[in-house]
Each structure stands twice: as structure tokens, then as C-alpha cells.
Amino acid sequence: MNVKQFILAAAIAITASFSAQAQQKGVHRTDLQQHDLSIAGREAIQVRVDIDPGVTAVKHTHPGEEIIYVLEGSLEYQVGDKPPVTLKAGDVLFVPAGIPHTAKNVGTVAGSELATYIVEKGKPLVTVIK
């Protein structure tokens, strides 16, 4: 295997791992882009997350910051020990690195967010809190 083939295989494996670990019933993630940053050891990852009505995403953390823009619907976020906040289309939220959080669709239609992560490269994007 040459270097190009190795890099391609590694990229496919990372993307597959990212997609598989992030899925749960009623939560649909669409990977949009992933790029290295000019900051050593950091990367930007952007995904669209669609949550079915009444579904709560499992409590989880990320190895970096998450910047959320709500695209549609009504989503209730619980971040760390702060009181829950309900956001609608056009609202934004910042989740600090390593802070456990959840999102629940409290509306009657699918809720969607654009999630942008600035994270440590090579670490799992999502760590479920049990």
C-alpha cells in the first residue's frame, strides 16, 4: 500500500467511525465537511443533525468546542448544570469543550441544527455519557 492509498484508507475509516458512533434512533447526522486547521492538532468538522419529534439525543461530550445554529424546529438543550434552554430556527448556542450535553426535539416536526466542531484531531468526536 502506498502513502496515498494509506491516507485514503485512514480517512475512510475515520469517517465511518465518526458516522457509526454518532447515530442513534431518531437522530440523523449528515457529515458535511472536515478540514485540518492552521492550529496544530485541531480540525473543524461540520454536520447537520436532524432530530425526530420527541427524541432526545443521548448525553455526550466532544473533545473541543461545538457551535450550534438551529436550522428548523424547536430544540431544547441541556448543557452541563445550566437550566435547559429552548431554541428555534435562527438561534445559536455554544457548548464548551468536554461539557456533557443533550438536545431534545420539543416540537411537532423534525428539528435540525448545523453543528460546527473545533476539536482535537484523532479523538472520537462523540463520547456518550452513561
* The total number of structural domains that make up the chain: 1
Residues 6 or more apart whose Cβ sits within 8 Å of residue 105: 51, 52, 53, 54, 55, 56, 73, 74, 75, 76, 111
**Which residues partner with 94 through β-bridges?**
67
**Domain CATH code at residue 42:** 2.60.120.10
Local structure of 10: helix, strand or coil = helix
pLDDT in tens, the chain (130 residues): 555 544 444 444 444 444 444 468 999 999 999 999 999 999 999 999 999 999 999 999 999 999 999 999 999 999 999 999 999 999 999 999 999 999 999 999 999 999 999 999 999 999 999 8
SS3 61: strand
Residue numbers of the domain that contains 68: 3-128
Assigned C-alpha cell, 11: 480517512
